[in-house]
């Protein structure tokens, strides 16, 4: 009996020493709003009137969420999509490089936070897939601007929800 008790105490001690965090981190990921396609040679187009309206709509729709950080790639269309939300939350707009992102560092820096990430038709689903560890989502169709990905991380477990909002 003493041996069983000793083994049980050793097991419980080991289990308590492991990271059993249930801290929740939530990521909201959206693609930039409608971009101006009138000049196909412009690599950094602005938003259209519909895009400006959508960025305001995103801000209103997400206004009940208390964001800790707002991230955007360094393009006019992504910054202008993210800015109304960042301004309403009184947060700085944090620029990230979607082509050279250190995902592990990003996860560490945002742990326990609620974060908005504004990206592109290819980088946004790639980001979500990275969280999951497998390719669940494909690139977003060029005509689709209303996807909202919600990624929740509790401990080391990720779950996702995709909403289409138009």
Domain-by-domain residue ranges, the chain?
A: 21-164
Do the beta carbons of residue 124 and residue 140 sit within 8 Å? yes
Do the beta carbons of residue 58 and residue 44 sit within 8 Å? no
User: How far, in Å, CA of 42 to CA of 46, rounded?
Assistant: 9
Whether the predicted pLDDT of 16 surpasses 80:
no
Task: Name which of 137, 42, 65 is nearest 119 in CA terms.
Answer: 137
Reported as a single tens digit per residue, the pLDDT across 37-86 is: 999 999 999 999 999 999 999 999 999 999 999 999 999 999 999 999 99
Per mean pLDDT, which range of 10-19, 64-73, 79-88, 95-104 is the poorest?
Answer: 10-19
pLDDT at site 103? 94
Question: Model pTM?
Answer: 0.86
User: How far, in Å, CA of 50 to CA of 27, rounded?
Assistant: 25
Reported as a single tens digit per residue, the pLDDT across 104-149 is: 999 999 999 999 999 999 999 999 999 999 999 999 999 999 999 9
pLDDT at site 166? 86
Task: Name which of 114, 116, 113, 134 is nearest 125 in CA terms.
Answer: 134
User: How far, in Å, CA of 67 to CA of 70, rounded?
Assistant: 7
pLDDT at site 164? 96
Confidence of residue 21 (pLDDT cuts 50, 70, 90): low
User: How far, in Å, CA of 130 to CA of 136, rounded?
Assistant: 10
How far from chain centre, in Å, is Cα 159? 12
CATH number of 21-164: 3.40.50.1240
């Amino acid at each position: 009996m003493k041996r069983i008790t000793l083994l049980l105490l050793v097991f419980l001690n080991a289990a308590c020493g492991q990271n059993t965090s249930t801290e929740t981190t939530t990521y909201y990921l959206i693609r930039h709003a409608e971009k101006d396609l009138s000049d196909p040679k412009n690599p950094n187009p602005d938003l259209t009137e519909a895009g400006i309206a959508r960025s305001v709509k995103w801000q209103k729709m997400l206004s009940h969420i208390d964001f800790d950080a707002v991230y955007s790639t360094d393009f006019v269309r992504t910054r202008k999509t993210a800015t109304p939300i960042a301004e309403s939350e009184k947060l700085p707009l944090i620029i990230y490089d979607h082509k050279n992102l250190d995902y592990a560092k990003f996860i560490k820096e945002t742990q326990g936070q609620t974060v908005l990430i504004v990206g592109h038709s290819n980088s946004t689903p790639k980001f979500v897939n990275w969280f999951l560890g497998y390719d669940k989502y494909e690139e977003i169709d060029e005509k689709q601007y209303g996807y909202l990905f919600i990624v929740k991380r509790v401990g080391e477990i990720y779950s996702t929800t995709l909403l289409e909002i138009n």
